[in-house]
A and B are shown apart, each in its own frame.
Chain A
Amino acid sequence: TISMIAIDASGAMAAATSTNGASHKVPGRVGDGPIVGSGSYVDGEVGGCGATGDGDIMMRFLPCYQAVESLRRGLTPQEAADDAVARMVRKFPTISSGIVVVDNQGRHGGAGSGWTFTYAYRGGVMNETVVVSVPPI
């Protein structure tokens, strides 16, 4: 699953997610990817979030809505990411999850569980994309 957030030069934000879901799923199954607040979420006044992982579980927690609302309440992107993942791990300790959170200034953080999650970013005048590896909670 790719889930992406972009901020243009004027500060306008958008988010998107695309996935082919889980292998060997029951036909008709839909995961978290196309669910607003789960696969991704963005409020240009605050920030955005993208998610990947066990969509059958993650879509019950709306982790990206949770993370963006945490930004609104004053948490940093890293704190918001950690909190959203921790809420899922508390109920489902073995869940594989990963979320990336960015505020509307481009400050970012990521958190995951069940695997080593990675995310990629590029901004400003960076010459190449940087990949960040996130140890599991």
Chain B
Amino acid sequence: SSGLPFVINTWGGPFTAATDAAYLALVNGTAATALDAVEVGCTTCEANQCDGSVGYGGSPDESCETTLDALIMDGATFAAGAVANLRRVRSAVGVARAVMEHTAHTLLAGDQATAFAVQNGFVEEDISTPDSRAACAEWRAAACQPNYRVAVSPDASVSCGPYTPLQVDNTTSAQTQASHD
């Protein structure tokens, strides 16, 4: 161990800005707690978009929309808050903290999570970017490849939708390698 305070996170490169932000917030006292520090770190990554896998304008879905997932957890109290499929709000970890602090729930999802975010002072806005719209357009131009749909018609490995379900063989488990979180 290098001693306390201490911050550690997945990935290097652009993600080290988040490491530094969280660490310096603890050292400088702008983060009063470890909980504040991880929020500062993840918020930094969301604002910077890190490598494109965090924050607005990344990983568009089939409909070209960017949605966000986030979780925050207090190691002392086991309090936790999370948002899933958060739409049209940039500060996912901030909304997760609001879920933790202003509800007795752990996870809110989708449009209702967006409504909760707005109720708690977060701004609802378009979180796609020219880059994310272009990535989605390129995906559609490439016959929607790679693709997570399985056992559908038309064959999702070569065609875009709309899709209808086919008979499923439950003896095997589908594992696609199209992308990752």
Chain A interface (Cβ within 8 Å of chain B)?
1-9, 11-36, 39-44, 48, 50-55, 57-58, 92, 94-96, 98-100, 102, 105-108, 117-126, 128-129, 131-133
Contacts and interface: CB of A to CB of B under 8 A. Distances in A.
A24 B34 contact: no
A14 B73 contact: yes
Contacts of A9: 4-5, 26
Contacts of A15: 38, 71-73, 75
B2 A41 contact: no
Contacts of B53: 1, 19-20
B107 interface: yes
Nearest to B25: A6
B71 A2 contact: no
5 contacts: A6-B26, A6-B35, A52-B180, A55-B180, A58-B181
A103 to B, nearest CB: 8
Given A119-B9, A119-B12, 19 more contacts: A6-B35, A7-B7, A13-B34, A14-B73, A17-B42, A18-B70, A22-B181, A23-B59, A29-B148, A41-B73, A52-B181, A58-B181, A92-B175, A118-B11, A120-B15, A121-B7, A123-B4, A128-B20, A131-B12
